[in-house]
Structure formats: C-alpha cells, structure tokens
C-alpha cells in the first residue's frame, strides 16, 4: 500500500499543469446608435426603441419608435443634431393639440420636411423625413 502511495505521489508530481495567461481584453467600442435617417446620419433618440423603419430611394424615411420622453425633448434632440450638422430651420409649426410638430430645414440647395407625431399622450412616435 505504501509503495502504491509513493508511486501515485511520484506520478502526480511529474504532471505539470501549464496555465497560459489570457491576452488582455480588447476595448469595447461604444455601440453605434441606430439611425432614423441614413441620408442625414440622424441618430435615434437615446434610449428609444425603434418599432418600424422604412427608407426610400431619395433619402426620405419614416420611423416609428417608443420612448418615455416628451415631444419637446425628442424634437430638441433631432433639432440639435441637425443644427450642428449645418441645417437651418426655416419653419416650425405645432399641430394636432400639441402632439405633432412640422419643421422645414435647408442647407445649401437641399431642403426637407421633418414631421414628428406623438400618438396621443403615449410614448409612441412617428418621425417622417421628406426630401
């Protein structure tokens, strides 16, 4: 029995377990926000959930999304982005008991209409961009 124990100890001590350290983790790039209009590079409202998105050949688009933010905050997000991208707002009009906004933007010789419509007082919105 003692010989078996010595033999087993010798056998186990001859087994060398080599552990290789893992390479450092690659830095994770921040996720790219979803776009609500590719032609403009217009990002979705932060934290919103896109329900439906359609783009047309001329760059126009229609997107339905959900967020808990109010209409003014959602519009301010889009307006701020467009202003920083060099677009000038020509008109802004509230419609439909303050649940819908229409604005016209222009840059150089290009213009488009932005329509933001909140479904009642819910957190569902429809955004239309028409060139």
- 85-93 mean pLDDT: 98
CB within 8 Å of 48: residues ≥ 6 apart: 65, 66, 67, 69, 74, 125
Residue 76, pLDDT > 90, answer: yes
- The pLDDT assigned to 130 comes to 98
Could you tell me where the DSSP H helices lie in the chain?
A: 2-14, 71-84
Instruction: Report d(CA 27, CA 37) in Å as an integer.
Output: 28
pLDDT digits (tens, 9 = 90+) for 15-39: 444 555 555 544 444 566 799 999 9
* Residue % of the chain over a pLDDT of 90: 68
- The pLDDT assigned to 28 comes to 46
Top pLDDT among 30 and 128 is at 128
């Amino acid at each position: 029995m003692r010989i078996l124990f010595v033999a087993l100890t010798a056998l186990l001590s001859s087994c060398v377990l080599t552990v290789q350290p893992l390479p450092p983790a690659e830095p994770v790039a921040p996720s790219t926000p979803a776009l609500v209009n590719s032609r403009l590079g217009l990002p979705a409202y932060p934290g919103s959930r896109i329900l439906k998105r359609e783009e047309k050949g001329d760059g126009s688009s229609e997107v339905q999304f959900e967020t808990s933010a109010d209409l003014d905050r959602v519009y301010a997000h889009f307006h701020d982005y467009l202003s920083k991208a060099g677009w000038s707002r020509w008109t802004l009009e509230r419609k439909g008991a303050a649940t819908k906004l229409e604005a016209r933007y222009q840059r150089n010789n290009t213009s488009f209409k932005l329509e933001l419509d909140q479904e009642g007082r819910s957190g569902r919105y429809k955004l239309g961009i028409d060139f």
